[in-house]
């Protein structure tokens, strides 16, 4: 049963029912923008926003994001996708066409630290993060009451290095049942197996402190304090099988000094983590990210 307060986004969906987004990657060449613009104009679509980037006009790669309004878009979905394929083949494009009213369905994974989870759910409740959240999954029970206060189902699946595959089988079954589009690791302190990551390639967003690779493992803030670091920060990225080395989506930092104790570093680190993660998730659900090699282009 879907959470009742998911209905808060129905007005948004109705308002955006005729809006679509195109994300395109292809070799840079003449005529790309003209061809795409003409295609949209032929279908009575009006371009609302367009951003583009070229790595090198002479033989580089070209990236573009276009947001558009199109009358009766819902009835034209299949036609637009079929007819755009001709242009895509002509320019050797990798492309996605998404429809704004089809909200992304996110599953949030969390462990004991709840600061990122709290920020995500508050932004969602305020309608500043527009997506559906069918469930929150945790390997600990601490978040249950907080999550359910938003009308969102909470699922406790104990997970550790000894039962990882069994836990992931339960998780994957839930994700499939709820038709999940994106997984948000909001301080979920478990390593995902390669099979899990492959199933949701470029659809798992993680957050971690930005001391890496200097302070790998437990108690990074204590060791950073011992070294007298002057900057702390956070990194949000897509998850790959190279631990904490996936394509970076967003980062931020804050200057600290010798006056700051370990708890001050941790407090400021949590503040940065939660804001960085929310921005990364927002850009993903707003279709503003193109992954190319091990980098991201963000419009």
Judge if the upstream peptide bond of residue 147 is cis by omega within 30 degrees of 0. Answer: no
Three-state secondary structure string covering 170-202: HHHHHHHHCCCCEEEECCCCCCCCHHHHHHCCC
Q: How far apart are the first and last CA of the chain?
A: 35
CA atoms within 13 A of residue 287's CA, in its CB half-sphere: 24
- What string of DSSP letters covers 272-297? HHHHHHHHHHHHHHTT-EEEETTEEE
Catalytic residue numbers read 244
Q: Which two tokens stand for residue 28?
A: 């840079």
Q: Which of 241, 162, 142, 232 is nearest to 195 (CA)?
A: 241
- In the chain, count of helices (H) and strands (E)? 9, 13
- Provide the 8-state DSSP code for 247: P
Q: Is the Cβ–Cβ distance between 158 and 137 less than 8 Å?
A: no
């Amino acid at each position: 049963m879907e959470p009742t307060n998911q209905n808060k986004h129905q007005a948004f969906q109705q308002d955006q029912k005729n809006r679509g987004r195109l994300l395109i990657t292809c070799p840079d060449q003449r005529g790309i923008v003209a061809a795409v613009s003409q295609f949209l104009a032929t279908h009575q679509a009006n371009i609302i926003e367009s951003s583009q980037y070229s790595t090198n006009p002479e033989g580089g790669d070209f990236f573009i994001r276009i947001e558009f309004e199109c009358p009766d878009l819902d009835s034209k979905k299949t036609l637009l996708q079929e007819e755009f394929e001709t242009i895509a083949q002509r320019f050797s494009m990798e492309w996605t066409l998404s429809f704004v009213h089809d909200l992304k369905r996110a599953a949030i994974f969390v462990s004991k630290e709840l600061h990122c989870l709290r920020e995500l759910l508050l932004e969602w409740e305020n309608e500043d993060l527009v997506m559906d959240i069918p469930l929150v999954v945790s390997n600990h029970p601490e978040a249950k009451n907080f999550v359910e206060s938003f009308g969102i189902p909470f699922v406790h699946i104990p997970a550790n290095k000894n039962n990882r595959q069994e836990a992931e089988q339960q998780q994957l079954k839930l994700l499939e049942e709820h038709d999940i589009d994106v997984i948000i690791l909001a301080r979920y302190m478990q390593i995902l197996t390669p099979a899990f990551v492959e199933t949701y390639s470029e659809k798992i967003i993680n957050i971690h402190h930005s001391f890496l690779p200097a302070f790998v493992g437990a108690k990074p803030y204590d060791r950073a304090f011992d070294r007298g670091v002057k900057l702390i920060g956070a990194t949000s990225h897509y998850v790959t099988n190279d631990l904490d080395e996936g394509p970076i989506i967003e980062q931020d930092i804050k200057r600290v000094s010798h006056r700051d104790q370990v708890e001050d570093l941790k407090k400021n680190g949590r503040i940065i983590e939660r804001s960085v993660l929310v921005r990364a998730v927002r850009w993903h659900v707003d279709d503003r990210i193109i992954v190319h090699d091990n980098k991201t282009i963000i419009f």
